[in-house]
Amino acid sequence: MEPWKNAAMKKKRRPVRLRCSVKNYDWGILGHHSKVARLFALNSGSDIDPAKPYAEFWIGTHESGPSFAESGSEEDPVSLKSWIARDPSVLGQKVLDKWGPDLPFLCKVLSVQKALSIQAHPDKEMARVLHKLHPGVYRDDNHKPEVALALTEFEALCGFISLKELKEMLRTIPEIAELVGVADAEKILLVGERHESGKVNTDLEAMFSRLMLSSKETISKMISKLKRRLNQEKKKRQLTVKEQLVLRLENQYPADVGAIAAFFLNYVKLKRGEALYCGPNEPHAYISGECVECMATSDNVVRAGLTSKQIDVQTLLSMLKYRQGAPEIMQGVSLNAYTTRFIPPFEEFEVDSCNLPHSASVVFPSFIGPSLFLVTAGKGRFDAGLAGDDVVTEDDDIVEEGEVLFVPAHTKISITARSTELHLYRVGANSTFFRDL
């Protein structure tokens, strides 16, 4: 290859810095206490409003929260999606063939002060139907499997509780047994260990549907009765974790059916560095804490409680999976002394979490597809080179907390920490997607 072509290619493949979007939903953490606020302020050069909740920091091409390439002018910034469209080869041929001139993944950072909706994300087939019927509400025809990686202790609800826990709940929460019907409750209580899972799931679906479709008046009376009983009983005994959680949720969202729905769902508490995977049609809700969240590119959410936004209970109930049992807490796979990879069972994305001590270095080999890099703490040197080349020293650069980079396909990355500790995340298409190459 002629020297000028090689130089042009290296310039073309240089990572580009991104300016990203923020969402100020009311469930976010206020002002300077919010990681989202800090990342957005450092990323954009803006000030933090101490009275404003900062909920989500968006990184990607989705129109609801687009990122912008720094290569564009400040007066007329270029969205990352438009920047990619100018030269789709930055995605790599296989990603381009599969998903077209766009990123198949979306990354966010969440700062959660109070619970955000009992919800689920439709699978691809349901997403296409909902988008066709209600394009103003469900703006994407794509599914949205997602992984939440805890930055702090992180609380969530995910999936339906086991048969054993369901029985215990019906025995100890008389208000629910009364609402769903004593006869239906007894059916579950009489099920033996060798049960027919399909039958149990049908009964669970019937009970959960009856709860979620109850009138506001019925739910309000039920919650009042539950609160009176629990407030009396806590004088004599320690309330269970789930009972305390339900009272907490109801305090945030008074007389909301979502608070009672929590009894049916698994309560999960992640430690920093652990992750939770939520597949399509899986009921879940985030309760508190901060996380990096990655997903297929979509913003379709079907909500049914714990929210001031539009709810669609009938749609949610029609699409839910009534699979029972605790969700898997993902620990990830160690790639080296500093990097852990989280691999969900979907082609669109995977996440690498990297913690580098001072002066330590790590190399991210050339990927066949594009990557997004997010620095969440510290400072380091970021070097980029084409696949098969040595690191391109003229592209040496300093990256710090709040910085986000788009890295084109076939680009090798070397990072060296220049602070006590450097924390960063890489999001790319799932490695399993490229195995046949």
Write down the catalytic residue from 303, 323, 426, 435: 303
Residues 409, 90 contacting (CB under 8 angstroms): yes
The DSSP code sequence of 225-271 is HHHHHHHHHTTTSPPPHHHHHHHHHHHHSTT-HHHHHGGGEEEEEEP
Q: Can you tell me the distance from the alpha carbon of 239 to that of 233, in angstroms, rounded to the nearest whole number?
A: 8
Q: Which of 7, 108, 189 is nearest to 372 (CA)?
A: 108
Residues 147, 294 contacting (CB under 8 angstroms): yes
Residues 66, 80 contacting (CB under 8 angstroms): yes
What sign results for the dihedral spanned by CA atoms 94, 345, 422, 20? Answer: positive
The structure tokens 């852990």 sit at: 340
The structure tokens 């709860």 sit at: 211
The DSSP code sequence of 18-33 is EE-EEE--TTBEEGGG
Q: Can you tell me the distance from the alpha carbon of 330 to that of 344, in angstroms, rounded to the nearest whole number?
A: 9
Q: Going by C-beta distance under 8 Å and a sequence separation of 6 or more, which residues neighbour residue 392?
A: 10, 383, 384, 385, 386
Q: Which of 183, 155, 188 is nearest to 169 (CA)?
A: 188
Show the tokens assigned to 286: 């985030």
The terminus-to-terminus CA distance of the chain in angstroms comes to 24
Q: Please confirm, yes or no, whether 303 is among the known catalytic residues.
A: yes
Q: Can you tell me the distance from the alpha carbon of 250 to that of 260, in angstroms, rounded to the nearest whole number?
A: 8
Show the tokens assigned to 165: 């826990």
The DSSP code sequence of 295-325 is EES----EEEES-SS---HHHHHHH----BS
The dihedral formed by the CA atoms of 341, 342, 344 and 349, expressed in degrees to the nearest 10: -60
Catalytic residues: 303
